[in-house]
Every structure is written in structure tokens, then in C-alpha cells.
Structure 1
């Protein structure tokens, strides 16, 4: 059974193990999440499960969204996420998921929106080499040639050029859980996760 939850990145710090080595860790506030919808496919091979995170005042939502929650007789949530699951027999609409589903030592995948860095050049975005820095050189940070001449006479799609950097979905896999605080819904994991502090993150764990 796969475990999927929404949470929030609190920040980074470091902890010390028994050998006295400093371990960089990220503090996450995960859940509690509520199952808001269960949709079975026609072949009954899997089910799409929708979870909600962070309660919100219905007055701040649009009527179609309010009707979606009202139909299932559940509170309104600010964030929704849908995922596929092969096991849904023990799940029901309105069931609350919390970090009790995780254990210390488990490995999880964390997805989030990376920090946006604005418009960046080729050296920063694609790790291009710079041009000669000697006197008289006029090619210090220019991208260089971007295509052929007369034939084909165009730039091929996917050419690495300057452009927006960051602000994309990034998934970090196999992050180990160092500690869990059930009372405060806090998970401490080894390593870093994408995005700034306070951003929404998506946690996925598949049990073997």
C-alpha cells in the first residue's frame, strides 16, 4: 500500500548522531490529511484517491468547490492532491491520515516546487564554460552559435539557451526519516527538499 500525504516545509537544521557527526536535516510538518474522494476505474485495477490538506473557510472558496466537499459531508480544504493506489479496501471518504503511517528509518520521496531564480544565462542555468578572459576577447559570457547556417536555417527545439531557472516541480527520492514527533505532526528527514520554507510539499512512500 502506498502512503501519500501533503505537508509543509519548516526549514533546515542539523542534528548529531551517536558518533558526533553533524547530519543536515529538513523539518517537515506533514498532515493530517483527509480522504476527500475515491474514484475506482472501470477495470478495478487501481483507484484514484484524493486527499485534502489545511482547512479553509468556505467563504473563501468558489461554489463548485464547496459543493464537492458538501456532497461528501466533509470540511473544506485549501490543498487537494490525487494519487493512484492499488489497495483501497481499508480506506473511506473522511478518513484522516497522519504521520503514524511512517516509521523512523523509512525512505520517502518528497516533491515540491523549486525556488525560482528568475531569468538566468547559459553559464548559471546549464553550466556552460565561459569564453577567454584575456584582453581583446569579446566572448566572455555569450552563448555562442545556436545552429547551422543556410541548412537547415533554424534552431532545433530543446536547444539549451538562457531562460527562466527554477520554479519547477522537483522530486528528491529515498530520503531517510531521522525522527518523528506525532504530537506536533513533525518529520525530520536526512537531506534537503526543494522549495523555500513554508511551501507545500508532497510526500510519497511505497511499502514493499
Structure 2
């Protein structure tokens, strides 16, 4: 299995055998349930769909309720599809947990970054503003400055970095080392930080 769905619990730190403190993130990874197996004959490609997190049945559409009933499992909050070539070893209702990973292994973590709302160019793109507040510049400290040229091109180029909504993006952090695997609690401890707020859904990819 190339990955698993999880939930960000929070951050802590671990000490290495050399006595060095390493910042790390706790991930509640699984248990996930196989809710669909896609084959070349039926879907045109091969993949396995996993479901994670319990959800009330009354909050699920009839189509999804039937989808979960076919897999003989309860309603799930999060569904993620993983592409892989060999799907013959998977069947509906199978469980995937943290035993998929080993300590010392490197993984990629995908999550949705925290939303920051509407922000200016200083916070959004690390602009420096237009300098000090001398020479009568009393209201320009955090402004973007000029955004265009003169009579040509007589417009603002696409992609100009300006104020706007920041955060809430899909972010992948690569090459995070698994420091500890705790099968009893279904918890992974990975080095460094991962995107998203506490209790947000993330995907751990091998």
C-alpha cells in the first residue's frame, strides 16, 4: 500500500541517543478501511480507495451509504484513492494501519495549510514595503508599490503578486523521517512539522 490517511494530533519533541532534541509531529494514522478496489476492466485504471474517521449515517447521502454498505463498513469522514499496480491482494473491508511503516523510513505528508484570510503583500509574499516613514510617507510602509509599467503594456501582467487570500492550500512536505511507530495507539511520530491545524486530515505517502 503506497499510503494511509491520518489525522494531525499535535507536536512534541524527542531526544536522540546523542542527546539532541528533535521537533516532531504526532499523526493518528488509521486504521483505514478499503472501501473500493478499482480495476482496469471496470474503471480503466487500478487503485484502492481507503476510508478513515467515523461519521453519522444521517449525514451521509444514500449513494455513499450504499457505497459503505457494499464494503461492509460504517460511514467514513475521509475518502482517499491510492494508485497502485497490484490490487489483487486487496478486498473490500480490509484494514490498513500503521504497521505499513517502519521506523527510520522516509515519507511524504500531504495536508491543507492553515487559512490566513485576506492578507497584504508583506505577509503573503515577504515584501519589504516601500521603506521608512520619512519624507511625508506616512501611509506607505506596507504597500506593494508600483504594479505596472507606463503606456505599454497599459495593463497589469497576469501573476502579479498582490494582496489576496492566503493559506488553505494543498501542501506536500517531502522526506520526513519516521522516528517512532506505535501500533497500539495507531500513531506515527515523524520529524519536523506538517501542514494543517490540529485534528485536520492528512495523507502519509511512502
- Band of TM-score, shorter chain: over 0.9
Q: TM-score, normalised by structure 1?
A: 0.91
Residue 45 of structure 1 deviates from its aligned partner by: 8.7
Match for residue 196 of structure 2? 195
Residue 3 of structure 1 deviates from its aligned partner by: 2.2
- Structure 2 residue 67 is the aligned partner of structure 1 residue 68: yes
Alpha carbons of structure 1 residues 41 and 159: separation in structure 2 relative to 1, 3 Å: farther
Which whole-Å CA distance do the structure 1 matches of 2:2 and 2:86 have between them?
10
Residue 147 of structure 1 deviates from its aligned partner by: 1.5
For 2:130, what is the secondary structure of its paired residue? coil
Which whole-Å CA distance do the structure 2 matches of 1:78 and 1:131 have between them?
47
Which whole-Å CA distance do the structure 2 matches of 1:98 and 1:55 have between them?
15
Q: Which runs of 4+ in 1 moved over 6 A?
A: none
Residue 46 of structure 1 deviates from its aligned partner by: 4.8
Which whole-Å CA distance do the structure 2 matches of 1:46 and 1:18 have between them?
46
**Relative to structure 2, which stretch is displaced further, 160-169 or 36-45?**
36-45
Are 2:39 and 2:87, in contact at CA under 8 Å, matched by a contact in 1? no
Residue 118 of structure 1 deviates from its aligned partner by: 1.4
- Structure 2 residue 94 is the aligned partner of structure 1 residue 95: yes
Are 1:31 and 1:97, in contact at CA under 8 Å, matched by a contact in 2? yes
Count of aligned positions: 204
For 2:146, what is the secondary structure of its paired residue? coil
Which whole-Å CA distance do the structure 1 matches of 2:177 and 2:136 have between them?
49
Are 2:6 and 2:29, in contact at CA under 8 Å, matched by a contact in 1? yes
Which whole-Å CA distance do the structure 2 matches of 1:84 and 1:175 have between them?
21
Which whole-Å CA distance do the structure 2 matches of 1:30 and 1:13 have between them?
17
Are 2:47 and 2:87, in contact at CA under 8 Å, matched by a contact in 1? no
For 2:132, what is the secondary structure of its paired residue? coil
Which whole-Å CA distance do the structure 2 matches of 1:22 and 1:192 have between them?
14
User: Which string of whole-angstrom CA distances, capped at 9 and with x for unpartnered residues, describes residues 137-179 of structure 1?
Assistant: 4232211111223322221211100111111111100100001
For 1:89, what is the secondary structure of its paired residue? coil
Which whole-Å CA distance do the structure 2 matches of 1:67 and 1:89 have between them?
23
User: Which string of whole-angstrom CA distances, capped at 9 and with x for unpartnered residues, describes residues 1-38 of structure 1?
Assistant: x4211111111111111111110011111000011111
Aligned-residue Cα RMSD (Å) equals 1.8
Which whole-Å CA distance do the structure 2 matches of 1:201 and 1:169 have between them?
10
Runs (5+) with no aligned partner, structure 2: none
Correspondence 1:1-208 to 2 at 5 A? 2-41=1-40, 46-138=45-137, 139-205=140-206
